[in-house]
Chains A and B, each alone.
Chain A
């Protein structure tokens, strides 16, 4: 299933502008700042990881890009145009725990939600969109479970369902909030494969990640975040011990883990 699934007609048209650029972004929850003056540019066709300690504003960064939380200042540009104008090129994979998995819908229903925006107001899901949803489901290898009620899914399957929903959107940019949180090793590998396929098809992914030990293995681009962007760029250049110390600061245990991960990555 590698590579072949994303045909040439789905390839993002070449653009001189970066897929995602964020300027002077500041977000505050009730006067307590969460993100300060974030300036960030993700080049096309990158698989970018966002890492940082708890409360660093990683999820908020994604949500602010998507207009889901109010911005105190700043702007988000998608391929050089304001996000609102290019919204359909951006796809969001929220945290798995953000929804009620007891909701009375099937797996295919959830994936088909990725096509709702394209369908527009009042038009019900048609056969074309159902087929597209099914295709996306096959890509994450959940084709057999299309008619299952979503409460019957395991955590890893839930995560893959969310991923399929994003794929069904046929976007060019994918913003994912901890897709690897509490999934089994097999699912993690399957998701990484899909992310790499997306990148190889010229798509851009920004992935909130918590496991420092796999950063060098998964991502070719990294954003080190702690309320501000500590460092951002190619993983080989930016994922350094010095930058990690500046990101994780006093959190010694995390830092030890990070340094350890780094040594492993270098090796």
Chain B
């Protein structure tokens, strides 16, 4: 049906608009509510210098992790990010001990993050090496690496506590994250890392796309997939390391997984997913850090993750591509269409048998229709009532139903599609004729106008009379 094919698309487009407006309202609404109080306004407009730096950092962190996380998710390596982040802890501790031993202060962010990156990458290498051992699955390897590295890190932290004069109290902030511990030059390091990650992942868009979709094909055309994989993991390491202080190594995985998973609910185009994931990550970082600045008891990392999961829940239900609501609507609309077409075809077949399809009186009794298919009187009535609303049926009463002229035309068309499909299957797909009906029942409802025309062309001798003719059924009715 012409309208039937257009309707679902229009509905989806309308849903997109509704959802976008909803998202906008939700966000501005929250913003306005909070901004009502003046000191809240102060925070939101970032009047406080340090808050401004923190919020900027977490926003950048969210954008970069959202983008890199998209590739990681599509490469099905999300948990590698978790193993990696836990594996950073011993590196931090060792770097600290090294600095102290060399007579330094110990808490120099650049060095600590360098140590974190090194031991994180070492963890990744360990995972891949363990995977190569016979009978070792990736999840086993990641479990081993994650726990062993993290355990080693905790033990080293214990040792550091024992060290005389070591200002080690700050190191646990790397585990749970604490934005307040960020100072001065720290910010520049974070901006450099996260900004770099955003640029690199955008620049290597094409390469990561082919790597994530079809590694074997990529390799066969000469792309160095090992090195690309390493680059991707390098970016993940960079994001992880940058997020250590703000979000903490336990929760950073959330920023790598949740934004892309939420973005996927809205789109099936990679670049849109990447942008949206970056946006969701960025907004989570921004809103989360701001809220945590308002309520100083709440650690920023946890709030950021909670905000991100809010976005995820919202997307899960209302996402226009794979959201639960859209899926339900789609299923319902398909079901209605199938039911309506079944009704029309049953109608047509009754009329056809009665008078060769030429009967001007398109009136059929309930009994005749009920005998056609295995539907209950109640279901049939419901379907008929909907057809009445769609003006396919002109009148209905206790005795039966009268098709409208539009209904008759639609019934002829539906039946024709069905018959064409049956013929196509018989002639082209080598299926025994008595097996056809069931398949045709299903496929008919997805048959578009174009395919119908194509079928007509492939069946010229049966359809000599042109478009609206309905060929006879190839099997007994």
Binding site for B on A (CB under 8 A): 30, 63, 66-68, 87-88, 90-92, 94, 98-100, 103-106, 109-110, 113-114, 116-117, 119, 121-125, 144, 149, 151, 165, 169, 184-186
Contact B268 A117 (CB under 8 A): no
Which of chain B's residues has its CB closest to A149's CB? Answer: B268
B273 adjacent to A104 (CB under 8 Å) = yes
Q: Is A98's CB under 8 angstroms from B216's CB?
A: yes
Question: CB of B187 within 8 A of chain A?
Answer: no
How far is the CB of A207 from the nearest CB of chain B, in Å? 16
In the complex, B6 has a CB within 8 A of chain A: no
In the complex, the answer to whether A186 meets B428 with C-beta atoms within 8 Å is yes
Q: B210: which of A113, A121, A124 is its contact (CB, 8 Å)?
A: A113
**Nearest CB in chain B: distance from A107 CB, A:** 12
Q: Contact between A124 and B206 (Cβ–Cβ < 8 Å)? A: yes
Q: Which residue of A lies closest to B221 (CB)?
A: A117
Q: Mark B419-443, 1 if CB is under 8 A from A, else 0.
A: 0000000001110000000000000
Check B375 for interface membership: any CB of A closer than 8 A: no
Which residues 143-190 in B have Cβ within 8 Å of A in the complex?
none
Residues A103 and B216 in contact, CB atoms below 8 Å apart: no
Q: Does B214 contact A (CB under 8 A)?
A: yes
What are 19 A-B interface contacts by the 8 Å CB criterion?
A30-B134, A87-B220, A87-B222, A92-B216, A94-B214, A99-B214, A103-B74, A104-B267, A104-B269, A104-B270, A113-B213, A113-B217, A116-B210, A116-B223, A117-B221, A117-B223, A121-B207, A124-B205, A124-B206
Partner of B220, one of A66, A124, A151, A185: A66
Name A121's closest neighbour in chain B (CB-CB). Answer: B207
Check A109/B270 contact, CB under 8 A, given A92-B217, A122-B206. Answer: yes
Please, which residues of chain B bring their CB within 8 A of the CB of A116?
A: 206-207, 210, 218, 221, 223
Q: How far is the CA of A250 from the CA of B222 in the complex (A)?
A: 40
Q: How many residues of B contact A (CB 8 A)?
A: 30
- Decide: A87 and B216 in contact? CB cutoff 8 A: no
* Chain B residues engaging chain A, CB cutoff 8 angstroms: 74, 134, 203-207, 209-210, 212-214, 216-223, 264, 267-270, 273, 428-430, 450
Give chain A residues whose Cβ lies under 8 Å from the Cβ of B214. Answer: 94, 98-99, 113
Minimum CB–CB distance for A78 against chain B, Å: 12
- Residues of chain B contacted by A66 (CB below 8 angstroms): 216, 219-220
Which residue on B lies nearest to A147, using beta carbons? B269
Chain B residues with CB under 8 Å of A99's CB are: 213-214
A91: B residues at CB distance < 8 A: 220
Interface centre among B204, B209, B267, B429 (most CB of A within 10 A): B209
B430 pairs with A185, CB closer than 8 A:
yes
Q: Nearest chain-A residue to B132 (Cβ)?
A: A30
Q: Which 10 pairs from chain A and chain B are nearest by CB? A: A92-B220, A117-B221, A149-B268, A66-B220, A104-B268, A104-B270, A99-B214, A87-B222, A117-B222, A103-B213
How far is B217's CA from A171's CA once the two chains are assembled, in angstroms?
14
When the two chains form their complex, are residues A125 and B428 in contact, meaning their CB atoms are under 8 A apart?
no
Complex Cα gap A184–B430 (Å): 9
Nearest residue in A to B76 (C-beta to C-beta)? A100
Q: Are B270 and A105 in contact (CB under 8 A)?
A: yes
Specify which of A105, A114, A121 is in contact with B209 (CB 8 Å cutoff).
A105
**Chain B residues whose CB sits within 8 angstroms of the CB of A109 once the complex forms:** 209, 270
CB pair B216–A110 under 8 Å, yes or no, is: no
Q: Is the CB of A94 within 8 A of B216?
A: yes
Give Cα distance in the complex from A240 to B268, angstroms. Answer: 50
| Contact (Cβ within 8 A) A169 B207 | no
In the docked arrangement, what's the CA distance between A117 and B204, Å? 13
- The answer to whether A68 and B206 have CB atoms under 8 Å apart is no
Give CA–CA (A125, B207) in the complex, Å. Answer: 11
A149 CB contacts on chain B under 8 angstroms: 268-269
Using Cβ atoms and an 8 Å threshold, which residues of chain B touch A125? Answer: 206
A106 pairs with B222, CB closer than 8 A: no
Bound Cα distance A200, B213 (Å): 32
Q: Are B220 and A90 in contact (CB under 8 A)?
A: yes
User: What is the CB-to-nearest-CB distance from B213 to chain A, in angstroms, rounded to a whole number?
Assistant: 5
Q: How far is the CA of A88 from the CA of B220 in the complex (A)?
A: 9
Of the listed residues B213, B264, B273, the one surrounded by the most CB atoms of chain A closer than 10 A to its CB is B213
Cα distance A105–B268 when bound, in Å?
A: 6
Residues of A within 8 A of B216 (CB): 63, 66, 68, 92, 94, 98
- C-alpha gap A185/B425 in the complex (Å): 10
A106 to B273 CA separation, bound complex (whole angstroms): 13
Distance of A63 Cα from B209 Cα, bound (Å): 21
Closest residue of chain A to B134 (Cβ to Cβ) is A30
> B270 CB to closest chain A CB, in angstroms?
5
| Residues in B whose Cβ lies below 8 Å from that of A88 | 221-222
A103 touching B220, Cβ below 8 Å: no
Question: A104 to B428, alpha carbons, bound, how many Å?
Answer: 32
**How far is it, in angstroms, between the C-alpha of A67 and the C-alpha of B221 when the chains are bound?**
11
A173 to chain B, nearest CB (A): 11
Q: With A116-B206, A185-B429 given, name 17 new contacts (CB 8 A).
A: A66-B219, A87-B221, A88-B221, A92-B221, A103-B74, A104-B269, A104-B270, A104-B273, A105-B209, A113-B213, A116-B210, A116-B218, A117-B221, A122-B206, A123-B206, A125-B206, A184-B429
Q: Least Cβ distance of B431 to chain A in Å?
A: 9
The closest CB in chain B to the CB of A93 belongs to: B217
* Complex contacts, A103 vs chain B, CB 8 Å: 74, 212-213, 270
Which residues of chain A have C-beta atoms less than 8 A from B268's C-beta? 104, 149, 151
Complex formed: what's the CA distance from A43 to B442 in Å?
A: 46
Cα distance A121–B223 in the bound complex, in angstroms: 9
A152–B210 alpha-carbon span in the complex (Å)? 20
Name the CB-closest residue of B to A95. B216
Least CB distance, B64 to chain A, in whole angstroms: 19
Contacts of A92 in B (CB 8 A): 216-217, 220-221
A148 → chain B closest CB, angstroms:
10
Question: Complex formed: what's the CA distance from A109 to B223 in Å?
Answer: 17
Residues of the B chain whose Cβ atoms lie less than 8 Å from the Cβ of A113: 209-210, 213-214, 217-218
